[in-house]
Amino acid sequence: MHADDDLAELIRAADPARTPADAGTRAHVVRDRIVAREGGAGRRRTRSLVLVAAAAAGVLAISLTTPWLGGGEGAHALTPPPLDYAPVSDSAVDVVAEATAELEDADVVVAEPVRAVDALGWYLDISYGEGDVVVAARAPERTSLVWEPDLSGRSTVIAARSTWDDDAVDAPEPGTVLSDIVFAPGEFTTPVVDPPAADAASLLAALADYGLPETYTAADLMTTAEGLLQQWTLSDTQEAVLLDLLADADDVVVEGEAADREGRPVIGLSAATPTHEVTWLVSRDTGRIVGAESALLDDLDTIPAGSIISYTLWGIES
C-alpha cells in the first residue's frame, strides 16, 4: 500500500467521522507543515487524531489534542490492555444471527434513529519532534452530541476517568468540561441529514456518503459505519440491517466473548486493514453495536503491534 494510503487508514482508525478524501487532504496539510518545521518547538495540535508522514525522516507520527498529556517508559503503560476474549465456536454469520434475533425479539432499545450520540472514547497520542516519535497518553473523554435537521446543535466533551493506568496521565478531574461548542443553524457538518430507511440499500447509500467504496471489505464497512455512528444513534432495526451487511462480508473474524471496558458482556467481530485491526463489540444483552476498537497490526516505532490506538463505547449509562 502507498504511504499516503497508510496515512489515511490510520487517520480513519482514530477519527472515523472523516471521509477518506477529507482525511487525505487534511493529512497532507499537516504533513507539509511538520516537514517544513525545524525541530519540535511549537508543536501543532488538532482535535482529531492526525497521522503525519514525515517523509524526509522516514517516520510516522500522530498528533492529537489536549495539553494534559502524561509520558511513560513504555507504550503498553500508556495504552489500555486488549480485551480478554474467550473463544467461541460461532461463525460471524451465527453471531450476527443471534444479535439480530435479540434486536428483533428483545425490548426495544432505540425505536427510531436519533440525531444525537453519547460516547466514551480514548485515543492514543503520539507526536513527532526532534526526529523522534514521542508517546503520550490522556484520559478518556465523554462526548455528547445533539444536532437538528437545520444543522444546528451542540457538542460537549468532558473528562472521564481512566480505568487502566491512572498514574500515567496527569489528567483533568473527571467531569471537567473540555469543550462545549454550540452550532448555529447551518454550521454542523454531516453528509447525511435525513435518517436512512431501515433497509440495506438505504444504509449502503448513507454509508457511501460517508465514504464507503462501491466495492468494499468488511473493514471498509466497519470503519465507515463508525463515522455514521459518531453522528447518529441508529434504531434497533437499522443496527440489525448493518450487522447483516457485515455478515455478508467474507473476511470477518469472531474474536470471542469478553467484558468490554465498562464490564458489559460483548462478542467481538473484527476485520483487518493493511495498518490496523478494527473490532466491533456487539452486546450479548441487546444485540446492538456498543463499541469499536482499533489496534496496530505492526510495530509503529515505539508502539508495539497489538497496541490499542483508539476505542469508542456507546450506550454507556450515566
For 297, what's the count of Cα atoms within 13 Å in the CB-facing half-sphere? 14
105: Cβ contacts below 8 Å, ≥ 6 apart = none
Q: Please report which confidence band the pLDDT of residue 317 belongs to, taking 50, 70 and 90 as the band edges.
A: confident
- What is the rounded average pLDDT for all residues in the chain? 78
Q: Which helix (H) or strand (E) covers residue 5, if one does?
A: helix 3-14
Q: For residues 122 and 139, what is the distance between their CA atoms, to the nearest angstrom?
A: 7
Mean of pLDDT values over 59-76: 38
Q: Please report which confidence band the pLDDT of residue 233 belongs to, taking 50, 70 and 90 as the band edges.
A: very high
Q: Please report which confidence band the pLDDT of residue 18 belongs to, taking 50, 70 and 90 as the band edges.
A: very low
Task: Please identify which residue in the block is written with the cell numbers 517523509.
Answer: 55
Range of the structural domain that residue 205 is part of: 3-314
| 206 secondary structure, DSSP code | H
Helix, coil or strand: residue 101: helix
The structural domain count of the chain equals 1
What are the tens digits of pLDDT across the range 257-300?
Answer: 999 999 999 999 999 999 899 999 999 999 999 999 999 999 87
